[in-house]
Amino acid sequence: MSLKEIKETLIDLYLGIKIRKTNDIDNITDDYMKEEQNNLNKLSIMDIINYISNSIEILSELKSQEKYEQKVLEDEKREKYYNFEDERDANGLKLYEGMLVKAESDIRNHIRVRLIYIKFVKF
């Protein structure tokens, strides 16, 4: 494998794991991807490897934080719902709390994506 082929493979890998906003993912075109590949081709192989490393680190952090939050929520739910005498009250609370958790999660993800975007723009 030549150095050029290795660089192209690393660029493809980076573009495959790059963190993007949801609306950016919906609007990706072939021209946009080619432009991004051309911009990455101007960088050194080590810079591309650092981009890949940072993306993997961020993805791992997001995944571990998501698992932790899910476990905490499950533990809290177990404690709260054991105290209800009427199951209908517990189910109504579960539904409302689920909506709040979803909204809170969406806000956190939005903040994370924004922070990641800022980090990469400065990088």
- For 2-35, write each residue's pLDDT tens digit: 888 999 999 988 888 887 777 777 777 888 888 8
- For 52-65, write each residue's pLDDT tens digit: 998 888 888 888 88
- Among residues 69, 66, 93, the alpha carbon closest in space to that of 80 is found at 93
When pLDDT is cut at 50, 70 and 90, the band that residue 70 belongs to is: confident
Domain count, the chain: 1
> Reduced to 3 states, what is the DSSP secondary structure of residue 42?
coil
Contact between 58 and 64 (Cβ < 8 Å): no
Token pair of 48 as six digits: 């591309």
Contact between 26 and 60 (Cβ < 8 Å): no
Note the pTM of the prediction, 2 decimals.
Answer: 0.54
Q: Which domain holds residue 76?
A: 3-122
Q: Give the C-alpha separation, 6 to 63, whole Å.
A: 28
